[in-house]
């Protein structure tokens, strides 16, 4: 019976149990099965009779094991569950049960009890069982009312902020014990398997099963030396693999698992010291003044905490966390980030939450894998499958080689069946062809290039936690960049202030110290979250610059701070801001007095603002100050206080690339409870104060990098939370938008009570070039007018576009370069929408507000001082975007190397396959040492060093192919295989037509016929072919350095060529006996063999050169031109033919459709 993981709020299918950020709308299909005893015993008997083969099949295909041993049943009765995740992968999990303590249910209340209780009659006693299963570290419990298994977090997902304050009194030991039974231990437990279990799983890998089969076959065939060497290599390989796997697991466990002792508040009023493992959602956590590393997610209820979140976000600037506002809204750690303390983050200091003014109080909201850290660790432990064509095609090609091996097996069987060989020899010879044609080392060999690239990146300060993504870097077609701290400098300099008054905006004041005393000056000095750590101010760089520009100093109460509280009317003071030393002002007044901050509402990317509540000396009056994006601040102000020049001034300053902030204030009732005042009450009906302008300089590396990407045909996109005009200016400064290109603004409005949704494209500068009127350009279409243009859109318009104009969204995404005022979740959505158009998307950001987008992108690069963070697959400790071209170059180099190695390993198998088929046809074979020499000395050494060549110094316009089954790749393999066969047959027939030719003994078969002329000539040419193909398939220009840079590979080629030539021309008696070589006396004949090899090389090299020049592409002309498989390329072709897109200065409604329809 089928079911699904359901959302407890709606009863509808919910996101996958662990949102991987790439498929939030997916759900997990669940089927229930019950053990059938007779089926279980029958499977055990079958496993015994098949000598464990059936168990091996069950290990590879767990679904078959469930179907064979169980019968389908309702989920409520299931012993085993078959899960299918959003990526189509199937998993088998066992349903576990746990008996609950008697009388414990009453602690939760009747409603919760009905949700999860499962009562059964055992020995006429009613016992309560908790039924659950574990999947990827998360616990899912059975909810009878829902008829489904749900994440255990559903029991706390509907908590309101007011409910969390209710937990401040603490839990009783009995209630905590019950919750621990349901939620499980507070551990991010990374499984570290024993060496024995790892060995068992490794040996059962199909690759090693094939190796065991091959070694057994060779041993029976008396290839003892070869079998022994391969066995030793396999043992070494397995040992290294086990060591590395276990080492990585231990490293991840040490990073993920953190156990400490914490203090919690009990309902009895006492404080108790417990292990963090025992924490459950609802526990009241006491945070000491000196802070701690947090072992869970918690909502801050009292006091302020300065937190370093670099481990999770890569953001090195500490963040100030403030108490959660009381309210009836449902608590969410995402929407309440500035009031949530996340697991794994380091609380540097806590203050103001306990008697004496030290410490803080928080309530545990999530534990274990349900925490933010648990979610990120889970994404490393259980990464999403990389949907990359190269890896998919590699498996398909192995199947093709398997088909070739099957054909070869049939051929050998038919040939030898006509001779007098024994049945054992017949079977062994036939099966031996399979071990030759299918190279078991192929999957391992193609990772060599990635390993070299990862090593080179690490030396350049780029750390990677997902090596397969290095190859994906080579196919990136669009790269998104955050603005502040990524494209521009992190720090900003105050550029000037404009104060609003009854007459409108004042003149620009370049230095805030020159402002007259008043609300504007007080706002600049107080509206921030800067705090002190060991006497030094700490906080957001922008706010530090702002406070520094005013000359005001920050002081914080020490100890209980009673004297400070009393000095400001008895209000609980968080910080005191003191103006510069009083001095006469030009107007004859003096500067303002000290102001106390009593409440902070921290900045939120989603809200685009922050605010504080302040009290004047002796508590005479209270003022609330607001700072944020000008548009947001203006919307929260009384309209009559917003100056008429607001829009034009904002446009002017933003167009110059300045970071513009607006400030506002309003009086607050000083006699009200200011400590518990709600944000919604503060941030409304404000009085507009003016603008603060800050200069945000573009990093010197940014224009250079953007230019490199543009020349390489990698599209650059800016995604920022800043003003759209500022973003456009920065886009022009760094070269995303050239001076001769137009910027068109996309303005979309949502459905409101007053108006229908609308979409409008407005040109930045309607002035057209000489000789053409703007209307001509509009009518003609921007493409036809020869005008290159970029679209710019803000977060509100992007949301409206997605909701009401989905048919236009792909066309906007195709040409949009600037995305402004984007919230963190919108950045993630943008990445996914670009991926829907078949773009390979890269994202580069500082890791703070970009975590979701960094993890959703195909290639996420976090600029962080940390050596590696779990915020994204790549972390660069270089604080600029110069790492991006390097990463793309390394990706392209790795991809080209992987292609070369794949083709080389495939051709190596085909060379040996041809040799064996030719020799077996005439009843002989290759000697044991010949196999060993070719496999280990020639092929393995060349394959290991082939990938050492580094990337090209330049980023070229075309990307390397990712498909192994593309015409150039498949065609070259086919032509080279034909050349290989012709070369070996030429050597064979030249030998058999020589005057001194001695036919071999046809009455015996295999090694008994050695040495002979046929074997020696075929071995000689095959040996040269291994070296020839290594040269032919190794690509360099334009994505790798020229071949001569790979000195080791070049030297090895020369050594191999010298050794091979000596074996052909002057083998000597010793080597001749070891390799079972026939001693040809005719030097001319030997030189003829070398000449055949040289001709083989020349033909293959010329063929490869012609293929690289695109000669095979003329075959595509026969089938006609086909549209691209990539949606963005098809859409680009459609738009280039459209004379009506974009429809400038026309308002589109959601019911209208574009001239171009695209699906």
Q: Output the CA torsion sign for 805, 806, 808, 813.
A: positive
If pLDDT is split at 50, 70 and 90, which confidence band does 440 have? low
Q: Which 3 state secondary structure label does DSSP give 133? A: strand
What DSSP character marks residue 403? Answer: H
pTM: 0.78
Choice between 23 and 904, residue whose per-residue pLDDT is larger: 904
Q: Which 3 state secondary structure label does DSSP give 407? A: helix
pLDDT at 1068: 87
The stretch 1023-1046 carries a mean pLDDT of 91
The stretch 685-696 carries a mean pLDDT of 90
Least confident of 251-255, 699-703, 712-716: 251-255
540 is written with which tokens?
Answer: 């957001």
In the block, tokens 């540097």 appear at 348
pLDDT in tens, 94-153: 999 888 765 444 444 433 444 444 444 443 345 678 888 998 888 898 888 778 888 888
566 CB-near residues (< 8 Å, 6+ apart): none
In the block, tokens 């701690």 appear at 292
pLDDT in tens, 999-1013: 887 777 777 888 899
Q: How far is CA 785 from CA 741, 769, 808, 923, 1147, in A?
A: 12, 10, 22, 74, 22
Main-chain dihedrals φ then ψ at residue 1094, nearest 5 degrees:
-65, -40
If pLDDT is split at 50, 70 and 90, which confidence band does 726 have? confident
687-695, strands of its sheet edge to edge: 504-505, 493-501, 687-695, 658-668, 622-628, 609-616, 595-604, 575-578, 553-555
Question: Helices 53-60 & 62-69, crossing angle to 10 degrees?
Answer: 120
pLDDT in tens, 475-498: 999 999 988 788 888 767 888 999
In the block, tokens 């071995």 appear at 1019
d(CA 405, CA 972) in angstroms, rounded, equals: 20
pLDDT at 110: 39
Distance, first Cα to last Cα, the chain: 36
DSSP E strands in 978-1112: the ranges are none
In the block, tokens 């050239």 appear at 738
pLDDT at 1123: 79
pLDDT in tens, 140-188: 988 887 788 888 888 888 888 888 998 988 888 888 888 888 888 999 8
Least confident of 236-250, 765-779, 1079-1093: 765-779
Q: Is 328 a catalytic residue?
A: no
pLDDT in tens, 1037-1055: 888 998 888 999 999 999 9
d(CA 613, CA 619) in angstroms, rounded, equals: 12
Chain centroid, CA 322 distance in Å: 30
pLDDT at 773: 41
d(CA 45, CA 51) in angstroms, rounded, equals: 10
Residue 257 in this model has a pLDDT that exceeds 90: no
The stretch 335-363 carries a mean pLDDT of 86
Residue 409 in this model has a pLDDT that exceeds 50: yes
Residue 1 in this model has a pLDDT that exceeds 80: no
Least confident of 229-243, 385-399, 1084-1098: 385-399
Percent of the chain with pLDDT over 90: 32
Which of 432, 482, 846, 928 is the catalytic position? 482
pLDDT at 314: 61
Phi-psi domain of 561 (left: phi exceeds 0; alpha: psi -120 through 50; beta: other): left
Q: Which 3 state secondary structure label does DSSP give 424? A: helix
pLDDT at 871: 61
pLDDT in tens, 51-71: 888 888 888 888 899 999 999
Residue 756 in this model has a pLDDT that exceeds 50: yes
pLDDT in tens, 964-982: 888 888 889 999 999 999 9
pLDDT in tens, 192-213: 888 888 888 888 877 788 888 8
SS (H, E, C) 684-737: CCEEEEEEEEEECCECCHHHHHHHHHHHCCCEEEEECCCCHHHHHHHHHHCCCC
pLDDT in tens, 618-658: 888 899 999 998 989 999 999 889 999 898 999 888 888 78
């Amino acid at each position: 019976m089928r079911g699904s993981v359901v959302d407890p709020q709606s009863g509808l299918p919910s996101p996958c149990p662990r949102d991987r950020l790439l498929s939030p709308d997916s759900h997990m299909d669940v089927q229930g099965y019950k053990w059938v005893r007779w089926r279980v015993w029958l499977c055990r008997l079958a496993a015994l009779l098949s000598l464990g083969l059936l168990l091996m099949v069950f290990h590879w295909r767990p679904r078959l094991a469930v179907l064979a041993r169980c019968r389908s049943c309702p989920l409520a009765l299931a012993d085993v569950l078959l899960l299918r995740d959003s990526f189509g992968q199937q998993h088998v999990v066992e349903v576990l049960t746990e008996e609950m303590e008697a009388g414990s249910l009453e602690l939760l209340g009747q409603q919760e009890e009905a949700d999860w209780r499962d009562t059964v009659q055992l020995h006429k006693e009613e016992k309560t069982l908790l039924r659950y299963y574990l999947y990827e570290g998360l616990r899912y419990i059975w909810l009878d009312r829902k008829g489904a298994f749900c994440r255990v977090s559903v029991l706390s997902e509907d908590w309101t902020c007011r409910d969390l304050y209710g937990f401040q009194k603490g839990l009783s030991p009995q209630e905590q014990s019950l919750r621990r039974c349901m939620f499980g231990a507070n551990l991010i437990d990374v499984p570290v398997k024993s060496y024995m279990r790892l060995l068992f799983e490794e040996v059962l890998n199909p690759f090693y099963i094939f190796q065991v089969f091959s070694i057994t076959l060779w041993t029976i065939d008396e290839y003892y030396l070869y079998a022994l060497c391969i066995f030793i290599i396999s043992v070494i390989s397995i040992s290294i693999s086990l060591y590395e796997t276990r080492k990585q697991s231990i490293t991840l466990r040490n990073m993920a698992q953190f156990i400490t002792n914490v203090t919690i508040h009990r309902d009895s009023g006492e404080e108790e010291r417990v292990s963090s493992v025992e924490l459950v959602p609802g526990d009241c956590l006491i945070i000491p003044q000196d802070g701690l590393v947090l072992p869970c997610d918690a909502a801050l209820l009292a006091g302020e905490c300065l937190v370093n979140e670099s481990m999770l976000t890569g953001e090195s600037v500490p963040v100030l966390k403030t108490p959660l506002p009381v309210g009836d809204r449902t608590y969410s750690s995402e929407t309440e980030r500035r009031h949530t303390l996340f697991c794994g983050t380091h609380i540097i200091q806590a203050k103001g939450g306990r008697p004496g003014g030290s410490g803080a109080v928080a309530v545990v909201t999530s534990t274990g894998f349900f925490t933010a850290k648990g979610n990120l660790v889970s994404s490393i432990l259980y990464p999403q499958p990389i949907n990359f064509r190269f890896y998919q095609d590699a498996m398909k090609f192995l199947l093709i080689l398997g088909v070739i091996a099957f054909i070869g097996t049939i051929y050998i069987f038919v040939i030898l069946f006509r001779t007098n060989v024994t049945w054992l020899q017949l079977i062994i010879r036939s099966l031996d062809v399979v071990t030759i044609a299918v190279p078991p080392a192929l999957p391992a060999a193609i990772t060599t290039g990635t390993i070299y690239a990862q090593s080179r990146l690490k030396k350049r300060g780029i750390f990677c936690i997902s090596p397969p993504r290095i190859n994906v870097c080579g196919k990136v077609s669009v790269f998104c960049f955050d603005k502040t701290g990524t494209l521009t400098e992190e720090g900003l300099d105050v550029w000037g202030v404009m104060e609003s008054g009854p007459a409108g905006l004042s003149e620009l004041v370049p230095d805030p110290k020159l402002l007259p005393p008043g609300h504007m000056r007080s706002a600049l000095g107080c509206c921030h979250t800067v705090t002190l750590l060991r006497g030094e101010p700490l906080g957001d760089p922008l706010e530090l610059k702002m406070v520094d520009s005013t000359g005001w100093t920050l002081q914080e109460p020490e100890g209980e701070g009673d004297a400070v509280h009393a000095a400001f009317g008895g209000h609980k003071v968080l910080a005191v801001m003191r103006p510069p030393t009083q001095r006469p002002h030009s107007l004859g007044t003096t500067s303002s007095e000290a102001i106390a901050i009593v409440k902070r509402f921290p900045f939120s990317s989603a809200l685009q603002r922050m605010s504080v509540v302040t009290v004047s000396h002796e508590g005479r009056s209270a003022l609330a100050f607001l700072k944020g994006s000008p548009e947001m601040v203006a919307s929260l102000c009384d309209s009559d206080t917003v100056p008429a020049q607001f829009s034009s001034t904002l446009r002017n300053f933003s167009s110059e690339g300045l970071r513009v902030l607006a400030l506002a204030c309003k009086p607050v009732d000083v006699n009200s409870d200011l400590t518990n005042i709600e944000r919604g009450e503060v941030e409304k009906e404000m009085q507009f104060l003016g603008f603060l302008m800050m200069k945000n300089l573009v990093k010197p590396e940014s224009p250079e990098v953007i230019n490199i990407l543009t020349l390489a045909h990698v599209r650059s996109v800016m995604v920022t939370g800043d003003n759209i005009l500022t973003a456009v200016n920065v886009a022009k400064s760094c070269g995303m938008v050239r001076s001769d290109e137009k910027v068109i603004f996309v303005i979309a409005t949502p459905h409101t009570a007053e108006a229908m949704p609308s979409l409008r494209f407005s040109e930045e500068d309607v002035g057209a070039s000489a000789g053409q009127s703007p209307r001509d350009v509009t009518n003609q279409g921007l493409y036809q007018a020869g005008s290159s243009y970029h679209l710019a859109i803000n977060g509100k318009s992007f949301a409206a576009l997605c909701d009401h104009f989905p048919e236009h969204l792909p066309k906007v995404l195709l040409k949009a370069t600037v995305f402004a005022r984007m919230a963190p979740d919108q950045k993630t959505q943008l990445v996914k929408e670009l991926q829907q158009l078949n773009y390979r998307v890269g994202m580069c950001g500082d890791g703070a507000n970009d975590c979701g987008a960094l993890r959703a992108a195909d290639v996420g690069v976090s600029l962080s001082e940390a050596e590696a963070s779990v915020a994204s697959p790549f972390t660069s400790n270089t604080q600029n975007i110069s790492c991006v071209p390097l990463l793309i170059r390394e990706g392209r180099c790795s991809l080209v190397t992987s292609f070369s190695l794949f083709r080389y390993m495939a051709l190596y198998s085909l060379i040996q396959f041809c040799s064996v088929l030719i020799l077996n046809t005439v009843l002989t074979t290759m000697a044991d040492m010949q196999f060993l020499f070719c496999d280990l000395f020639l092929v393995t050494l060349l394959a290991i060093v082939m990938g050492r060549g580094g990337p090209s110094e330049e980023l070229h316009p075309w990307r390397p192919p990712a498909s192994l089954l593309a015409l150039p790749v498949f065609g070259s393999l086919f032509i080279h295989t034909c050349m290989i066969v012709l070369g070996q047959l030429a050597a064979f027939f030249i030998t058999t037509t020589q005057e001194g030719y001695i036919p071999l003994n046809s009455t015996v078969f295999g090694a008994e016929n050695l040495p002979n002329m046929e074997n020696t000539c075929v071995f000689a040419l095959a040996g040269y072919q291994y070296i020839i193909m290594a040269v032919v398939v190794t690509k360099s220009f334009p994505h790798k350095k020229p071949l001569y840079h790979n000195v080791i590979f070049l030297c090895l080629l020369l050594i191999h060529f010298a050794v091979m030539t000596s074996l052909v021309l002057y083998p000597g008696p010793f080597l001749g006996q070891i390799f079972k070589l026939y001693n040809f006396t005719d030097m001319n004949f030997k030189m003829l063999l070398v000449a055949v090899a040289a001709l083989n090389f020349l033909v293959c090299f010329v063929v490869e050169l012609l293929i690289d020049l695109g000669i095979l592409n003329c075959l595509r002309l026969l089938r006609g031109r086909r549209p691209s498989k990539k949606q963005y390329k098809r859409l680009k072709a459609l738009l280039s033919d459209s004379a009506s897109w974009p429809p400038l200065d026309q308002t589109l409604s959601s019911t209208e459709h574009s001239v171009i329809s695209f699906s």
